[in-house]
Structure 1
Amino acid sequence: MLNVGYFYRYLDHLIESQSFDWLDSLILIVVILIEILLSADNMLIIGLLIKKLPAIQRASAIWIGLMGSVVLRIIAIIMASYLIRFYYFQGLGGAYLMYLASQELLYHKSPITEPPKTLNLSQIILYIIFLDLLFSVDSILAAFAIVGISPLEGDTSPKLWIVIVGASIGIVLLRSFTSNVIRWLEEKPILETFTLIFVIWIGFRLVVESVLSSLQLDFGFDMTTTRELVKWIFWAITLVFFIYASGEILKDKKKV
């Protein structure tokens, strides 16, 4: 049974533990981009759902579904922030990200299926919210990997606000420019490839963080320096990857 008092105390702790610095703005941009790129495919099925409605109802479906998606996403992030404090959930989450992205990259397997044929406005809104929550697992895990996980079991990430703000902005931007984002991905399939490779990379970081936490908590090793080194290596390789990916995307554009 849910202990409401404990939940409120946990929320207070989350708010008090948050920290801000100028580098957060750059990390926030990365989180927003990942949210948009990982969720773009979901917009295809949402587009199919909305097309089933009369034109006069489509705007309502989009924006009511948007508000519901944002609220449930924030709730899901807060719940995930509790679970991911434990290193075995970090490891499982990282392994899941690597598996999901590699399946899509190698075999083009996607969990998205064709929506039911006949749905009314309220059913479509609920379906949109459900789909968004169902397919948000990868983007939430990816965002936690990007902002970094607290080294001690029982602590919370001081950058949880980046995950919440990034996810919310990403959802709003994606809903606002769905057709443009989908067309961009269709015109540049290399962009999706690079996104999936990056997801595998950040999934690997979660697994590494899990191992380091296990060494510290279960075996008593001081992993502070190692963890800091891993963080800088992660961002250094990420920067090189983004520079290389940008060059390849621009090169691909010139060919077109």
Structure 2
Amino acid sequence: MLDISTAAFWIAVLQIILIDILLGGDNAVVIALACRKLPAEQRKKGIFWGVVGAIGLRIVLIFFALQLLAVPWLKIVGALLLFWIGVKLLLPEEDAHGDVAASTTLAGAIKTIIVADAVMSLDNVIAVAGAANGSMVLVTFGILVSIPIVVWGSQLVLKLMDRYPIVITAGGALLGWIGGGMIVTDPALPANLLSGIPYAKTLAAIGGAVLVVLIGKWLALRAAPRAAVELTVNDSTKGSS
């Protein structure tokens, strides 16, 4: 359990906030889509109660994730998932919001926001659980601080990501860092396995960050020529039709 007066606590809070910004930017899009058909006077209520319900459900999911991460081998599995999520973050983005239905009723919009957030938040839940070091206080505090940033600041963050690609790279590296640190703390590993290596957890975290960035950049470079070929083919097809 981390002490709120320590630097480690506030570093972990900062990590959770960054995770929520990087992986939660889509939530603002979902909220906007779900509430777009509501009468103007009900939109604020839809946004407020939808966010409250979604955040409450996410905290419950993270609570169970924290319990599961105490089971042998699951931290390793969670770390591998974080590596995959980090690599995916570095790849060209595809629009995934076309199937978010708008509702004409307040209750329907709130339900849509909560359900969509739950479906979309698997990556967020795993990453936050890994950064929280077993502390529900840390999870709750970090997420509550993140709410206004995600809801009201996500568009600014998305613009920064578009303008400064290094922000995306840093996000992928952060997920790799958390994953690397999770692997070496899995209960399945012998307690003295890394006892002779100074700063073993930090070195593993650095290795995870570097691995995610290298693989993500490599795959992004490979995907670029294919995307260019597909664009050329589509343009040719349109021109001949």
Q: Percent identity?
A: 24
- Residue 100 of structure 1 corresponds to 85
- Are residues 1:86 and 2:60 paired? no
Residue pair 2:31, 2:50 contacting (<8 A) in 1 also: no
- Residue 185 of structure 1 corresponds to 161
- Residue 22 of structure 1 corresponds to 6
Alpha-carbon offset, residue 178 of structure 1: 3.4
In the alignment, the residues of structure 2 paired with residue 44 and residue 67 of structure 1 have an alpha-carbon distance, to the nearest angstrom, of 16
Q: List aligned pairs for 1:93-172, cutoff 5 A.
A: 93-106=78-91, 108=93, 112-116=97-101, 118-148=103-133, 157=134, 159-172=135-148
Residue pair 1:29, 1:166 contacting (<8 A) in 2 also: yes
In the alignment, the residues of structure 2 paired with residue 59 and residue 177 of structure 1 have an alpha-carbon distance, to the nearest angstrom, of 16
Calculate the TM-score normalised by the size of structure 1.
Answer: 0.68
Distance 1:29 1:132, change over 3 A: same
- Residue 215 of structure 1 corresponds to 189
Aligned length: 209
Calculate the TM-score normalised by the size of structure 2.
Answer: 0.72
1:19-56 Cα distance to aligned partner (Å, 9 max, x none):
44421123212221221221012322322222222221
Residue pair 1:45, 1:114 contacting (<8 A) in 2 also: no
- Residue 231 of structure 2 corresponds to none
In the alignment, the residues of structure 1 paired with residue 116 and residue 196 of structure 2 have an alpha-carbon distance, to the nearest angstrom, of 39
In the alignment, the residues of structure 2 paired with residue 70 and residue 226 of structure 1 have an alpha-carbon distance, to the nearest angstrom, of 42
Distance 1:190 1:47, change over 3 A: farther
Q: In structure 1, the residue corresponding to 2:73 is in which secondary structure?
A: helix
* Uncovered stretches (5+) of structure 1, i.e. residues with no partner: 1-16, 149-156, 241-256
* Uncovered stretches (5+) of structure 2, i.e. residues with no partner: 211-241
1:177-225 Cα distance to aligned partner (Å, 9 max, x none):
3333333333334322331232233223323433xx3222xxxx43573
Alpha-carbon offset, residue 88 of structure 1: 2.0
RMSD: 3.1
